[in-house]
Every structure is written in structure tokens, then in C-alpha cells.
Amino acid sequence: MINVLAIDAGGTSTRAVLLDETGHCHGYGFAGGGNPVSSGPDRAAASITAAAEVASDAAGRPPGDVGHVLIAMAGMSVSGPIDWVTTPLAARGFPATAHVASDLLAIYFSGTWEPDGYAMVAGTGSAGIRVRGGATEATADGLGWLLGDAGSGYWIGHRVVGAAVASLDGRAEPTALVPLVLEAAGIEDSRERGPDGRSSSLRALAQALYGLRPVELSRFAPLAFAAGSDATARAILDDAIDALARLFDAISVRDLAGPLVFGGSILTSQPRVSEGVAEIIRGSGFDPEIRTVPDGVVGAAVLGLRSAGIDVTADIFDRIRSTLAHLR
């Protein structure tokens, strides 16, 4: 019996699953952020180790019984040594070596066992990959808040606050986003002007927003969906849909049909966006089967089995999904 520990280490949370070579999942664990870039290596390692121990305990299989470890994480973290996490794992009795895979590939294999297709993620950031023969053949975007992540939660949130600021500043039309943004930032709506002729609300809002890390502007993205028929909010969401359709355009080739796996909150919890993107994709002559996944832990399990030399068939894939569903 081969025991595989598969870990999906994300920026805000980390999932771990312990499974056997038939795809049967025996234990599941969950912890905080496991990305060494956003959380720092120490906190990321603590999260990964915690999730691994919970999964191992729940499975009733001690760390020493684990034969293979696979960790899926964001692209930038994949290159370079991973002692920061293997050393703490080994200290708890897990194997001293681990395979690393891209978080985008884990999202892909959370939706399908098939070796050829596409995955697109739009959460805080956004990125897409083309998968051929089980490996990444092309990547687009994932270039971060300053240069890319088009259509992502950051991208939408940044436009939401920018539109509210411009409206308060008299440079844009009134929009329902103004009261929504002020309320979300905990700022009273006062248009009274200070000695420099600026409203006190605008001054307080700018100060509050510069106090955040830029990526935290993603927390304002839901306001674009909450603003109903507001023209400014609709234009932002239409632009996000266009940007995500261009992301598919950048990764897709005619000789590779699908499936297409959607991940990240913007593509999985906002039908206006996912349906809008799907419509443009179909209009461009592609008709991939679209599947939606909540995270990359099933794919991490698939990649974990493959790293142990196991061929993941449709049967094994289905078993991973169904047995894992019982654990969480």
C-alpha cells in the first residue's frame, strides 16, 4: 500500500489529503496560507505542516507511513529550493523530499483526469494554462497586480475604488459604487470640502486605501456585483469578461479542444462573469466542456499519485473526488 500526501498550498488557505494508490482518500486537513511569497516561508511551512498532520491523524496513518509528498503552489514559488518546507515536514516524520507542481496544474486536474485541456483561474489574481500530455504547454497572465492579473479580483477591485474616487473627485459621473465603497471602507459619506477644496470623504478614503497592500483592493471586487444595474459597475464587469476571454484566446490552439476548468472565486461564484466568458469563447468557435472547481486539492492528489508512478484513470479520478467529498 502506497500512501501519498498531497498538499494544495494557496495564498489564503492550505489543504492536505492523504490517499492510497487506488485514489481512496483517508484523511483531510485544512490550515492557513501556505504560499511562501505572500505568507513568508516560516508561516507557510507552519500551515503546510499543520494541514499535513491533521490529514495524517484523520487517516489514522502516521507520517512515517507516507511514501510520497506532493505540494502544489503558485508558479513563482515552484522554482528554487524547498528546504523551508521539507525540513519542518521531515522533523514531524514525513518524508524528507517532496515533489512540487504548479497550482494551475492542480486546478486543472481537480476538474479532469484527461491529459489535454485548459485551466483558467480568476481569484485575487488571474492566469491560464494549456495542458498537453499532462504537462503545462503554455501559460498566460499570472503577472501580478501591477502588470497583469487582468479580470481578477484585484483588477476588478482596483477599478471599483478608482471609479468611486474619480466620482468623488468630480472627474467621473455619479455611481452607486461611491456609497458602497465608502461603507466598505468604514468612511462617512460627507461631501463637505476642506481648505484645499477636497471632500473630507475623499481624503479619508484615499488615506484608508493607501494603508492597504495593493492586492487587498480585491476585497472591493464584490461591490461591482452588488451595484446592480449601475452603468459604471457594469462597464467594469464587461471589461473583466473581455479580459478573461482574451486570456483564453492567448492559451488556446485549434488542435486542442478541451475540457476547460474554471477556478477562483470570480470564475466559480459569479455566473455573470463565467457565463459571459463562456459565451465569448463559444462565439470564437471553441466549445470546450467547462468544469468548475473550488480549489486545487483533487488535482494535487492526482499529481501526487502520478509522482508516485501511478497512472490516474477515470476510475481513480472519480474515486478521489467521491472519497474526498465524504471527508470535507
Nearer to a second copy, 181 or 324 (CB): 181
Touching a second copy, residues 74-113 (CB under 8 A): 75, 102
Residue from 92, 219, 246, 291 in contact with a second copy (CB under 8 A): 246
The DSSP code for 199 is: B
Touching a second copy, residues 18-57 (CB under 8 A): none
Residue from 26, 68, 130, 306 in contact with a second copy (CB under 8 A): 130
Phi, psi of 311 (to 5 degrees): -80, 115
Of 63, 84, 85, 86, give the one whose Cα is nearest residue 5: 63
Q: Does 253 bind a second copy (CB under 8 A)?
A: no
Residue from 5, 7, 129, 324 in contact with a second copy (CB under 8 A): 129
Query: Looking at 157-288, which runs of residues are DSSP E strands?
Result: 260-263
Phi, psi of 72 (to 5 degrees): -95, 130
Report how far apart, in Å, the C-alpha atoms of 317 and of each of 22, 119, 210, 302 are.
9, 17, 45, 7
Q: Is 207 exposed, middle or buried (0-12, 13-18, 19+ CB in 10 A)?
A: exposed
CA distance 119 to 246: 14
CB of 104 to a second copy, least distance (A): 9
CB of 66 to a second copy, least distance (A): 27
Nearer to a second copy, 21 or 239 (CB): 239
Distance between terminal CA atoms of the chain?
Answer: 23
Assigned C-alpha cell, 59: 487517516
Ordered strands of the 99-102 beta sheet: 25-32, 13-20, 3-9, 66-73, 99-102
Q: Three-state DSSP class for 93?
A: coil
CB of 147 to a second copy, least distance (A): 5
Nearer to a second copy, 210 or 228 (CB): 210
Nearer to a second copy, 250 or 325 (CB): 250
Touching a second copy, residues 131-190 (CB under 8 A): 136-141, 143-144, 146-148, 150, 158, 161-162, 165-166, 169-172
CA distance 152 to 158: 10
Nearer to a second copy, 197 or 228 (CB): 197
CB of 137 to a second copy, least distance (A): 5
Where does this chain bind a second copy (CB under 8 A)? 75, 102, 129-130, 136-141, 143-144, 146-148, 150, 158, 161-162, 165-166, 169-172, 193, 195-198, 202, 206, 209-210, 214, 243, 246-247, 249-251
